[in-house]
Amino acid sequence: MNPMPKWVRLVVPALIALAALLAWEAVVRVREIPAYLIPAPSLVLQTLVSDWPTLWPSLLVTLKITFLSLLLAVVGGVALAFLFSLSSWVELSFVPFAVVLQVTPIIAIAPLILIYAPNTLTALLLCAWIVAFFPILSNTTMGLRSADGNLQDLFSLYGATRWQRLRYLLAPSALPYFLAGLKIAGGLSLIGTVAAEYAAGTSGKESGLAYRILEASFRLNMPRMFAALLLVALTGISIYFAFNALSRALLHKWHESELDASR
């Protein structure tokens, strides 16, 4: 099979997307569908611009919670994975908690968290963190265990300390696994944030995009719902591409998953 040139792989999906948008626009105009049922793409864009003063602060709130929770998930997940690698007792004791947190749907725990958390921001952070934390923990734990057995022996032979083994052997071995976990956790932290914002439903200056969607739906303000949804989707896409780029930058020199296609 001939590999497609790069420009084809970029241009074809873009053309399809454009065609779909044009068809949408055409159907709405020709059949004169009112904006409170389905807004035309042009109106959504227009609303995005006109409602920017409301949407922009909300986008910032959502971004803040998403990235803060992701950061905490990375710190917590990696630290706990390191602890697991040092002591199987710690692993044995903590894994059940991690699994319970992971398998219980966040939307079901969120109301409880909202009651007990001292403020909404903490509650939102906690919800998003619970969702994003597990892939980092489980992937990093697996990565730390995946170090080559002969290299382990080599480190023993030269009398490596625990810290040297962790720093020079286990951490680099775990990096591809961690990055794969990060790609998943990035998307999940946004999902967790949006789910928690729905559950919280507070207004005021600390409201994120999900609250704007909820608010607009109460008012049947469909164009604004679509505009806010567009921003959520764009945030997710940006996170996805950013972490793919990070993974590529860190691994392309040596790891099978990110080797240069030209080689």
Partner 1 sequence: MNPLIELRNVGKTFANGTQALAGMSLAIAEGEFVSLLGPSGCGKSTVLRMIAGLAVPSEGSISKHTSDSGNAAAGIGFVFQEPTLMPWAPVFDNVFLPLKLQGVSLADARPRIAEALALVGLEKFARSYPRELSGGMKMRVSIARALITRPRLLLMDEPFAALDEITRGKLNDDLLGLWSTHGLTIVFVTHSVYESVYLSSRVVVMASRPGRVVADEAVAAPYPRNEEYRLSPEYAAACRRVSHALHGATAPAQS
Q: Which residues bind partner 1 (CB under 8 A)?
A: 148, 150-151, 153-160, 164, 168-169, 172, 175, 253-255, 259
Q: At closest approach, how far in Å is the CB of 257 from partner 1?
A: 12
| Helix 171-200 / helix 222-251 crossing angle, nearest 10 deg | 170
Q: At closest approach, how far in Å is the CB of 162 from partner 1?
A: 12
Of 20 and 259, which CB lies nearer to partner 1 in the complex structure? 259
CA distance 22 to 24: 5
Of 139 and 221, which CB lies nearer to partner 1 in the complex structure? 139
Q: At closest approach, how far in Å is the CB of 176 from partner 1?
A: 9
Of 177 and 211, which CB lies nearer to partner 1 in the complex structure? 177
Question: Residue 181 corresponds to which tokens in the numbers above?
Answer: 């976990």
Of 64 and 255, which CB lies nearer to partner 1 in the complex structure? 255
185, containing H or E segment: helix 171-200
57, containing H or E segment: helix 52-86
Q: Which residue intervals of 104-170 are DSSP H helices?
A: 106-116, 120-145, 149-157, 162-165
Q: At closest approach, how far in Å is the CB of 158 from partner 1?
A: 4
| Helix 171-200 / helix 106-116 crossing angle, nearest 10 deg | 70
